[in-house]
């Protein structure tokens, strides 16, 4: 299955020569430039050194995640998604549990309404008012794409 890379603007490059990670970043750039919504309902759970995020992803959504700073466990308890990472493309259907490595960035197409939980280890002293999002993940540097876009 190919992801919808045809939505990308003409950046003057051969998309077929991009790595999976570059394709994900290019789609992220396109979504941000065109104001495609990327916020979905979240629930948060924290105790001691554990933090769990639960997100609801509606069917037919296309999502690009931030880069995860640490390995973590993911659980899809409802739904079906296709995920592209730098390692390849995989379709997962609930119920499914797996571990993801640090540094992972995902492009996700949601086939059916999905509930997805991620489980993280965090410092005991962190609380819900701390900046957990920036502790656990960071944005990609998309300047390589914006530089190409300025040339065309």
- Are the beta carbons of 102 and 70 closer than 8 angstroms? yes
Dump pLDDT digits (tens) for 39-96: 788 899 988 889 999 999 999 999 999 999 999 999 999 999 999 999 999 999 999 9
Quote the percentage of the chain above a pLDDT of 90.
51
Task: Please state the domain extents for the chain.
Answer: 9-139
Contact 39, 64 (CB under 8 A): no
Residue 6 has pLDDT above 50, yes or no: yes
What are the b/e assignments for 95-110, b being 16+ CB within 10 Å?
A: eeeeebeeebbbbbbb
Q: What's the pLDDT tens digit per position in 93-137?
A: 999 999 999 999 999 999 999 999 999 999 888 877 668 888 898
9-139 to CATH, choices 2.60.120.10, 2.40.30.20, 3.40.50.300, 3.40.50.1440: 2.60.120.10
Cα Rg of the chain (Å, integer): 16
């Amino acid at each position: 299955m190919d992801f919808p890379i045809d939505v990308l603007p003409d950046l003057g490059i051969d998309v077929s020569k991009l790595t999976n990670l570059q394709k994900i970043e290019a789609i992220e750039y396109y979504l941000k430039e065109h104001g495609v919504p990327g916020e979905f309902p979240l629930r948060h759970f924290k105790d001691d050194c554990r933090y769990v995020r639960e997100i609801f992803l509606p069917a037919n959504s296309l999502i690009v995640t931030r880069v995860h700073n640490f390995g973590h466990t993911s659980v899809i308890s409802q739904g079906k998604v296709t995920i592209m990472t730098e390692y390849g493309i995989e379709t997962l259907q609930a119920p499914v549990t797996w571990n993801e490595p640090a540094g992972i960035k995902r492009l996700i197409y949601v086939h059916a309404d999905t509930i997805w939980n991620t489980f993280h280890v965090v410092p005991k002293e962190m609380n819900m008012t701390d900046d957990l999002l920036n502790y656990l993940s960071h944005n990609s540097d998309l300047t390589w794409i914006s530089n190409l876009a300025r040339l065309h």
